[in-house]
Amino acid sequence: MLFNRHFYFLILSVFFIGIIFWWQTPENAVSAMVKGDQSSNPYTVVGNYWKRMDYRQFDLALEMLSENAKNEHVYLEEILTANPFLSIQSVICDTELKQNEMIVKIIFGSAIDEKKQANYAFKLERIDGDWLISSIKPLF
């Protein structure tokens, strides 16, 4: 039993799994998986916001907003909740108007409905080292 290779493999596996749990606590691992690199620049913040909205992860998308932008978020949440087949087909971030401002073109659609385009002006600000969306305004 002492010289069995399977025994050594089992002992090493338990040892390395124990090191992983000792090194990385569960709350750190979960927060790293959820947050990812979403705060690295304004474009990734806006892209991740719409990805969370498309996946109906409204609570995670809400964490990317400051207090001023939450009113428009509630309206967008109602639109996406009302039609479960509605999905975001593409997100196009245009050139920035000023620093930390951009126009985003969203194409909504589903297999049943025709595609619709909506334009939004996003304003972002850096708070505590992370980029947060400070305002979302629809453009008509």
* pLDDT tens across the length of the chain (140 residues): 567 888 889 999 999 988 877 777 666 666 666 666 556 788 888 999 999 999 999 998 998 898 888 888 899 999 999 988 899 999 998 876 677 899 999 999 888 888 999 999 999 998 887 889 999 999 98
Burial of 136 from C-beta contacts in 10 A (0-12 / 13-18 / 19+): buried
The set of residues, in sequence order, having a beta carbon less than 8 Å from that of 49 and lying 6+ positions away, is: 61, 64, 65, 133
Report the b/e string of 2-36 with b at 16+ CB within 10 A. Answer: eeeeeeeeeeeeeeeeeeeeeeeeeeeeeeeeeee
Q: How much is the pTM?
A: 0.72
Predicted pLDDT at 135? 92
Predicted pLDDT at 78? 93
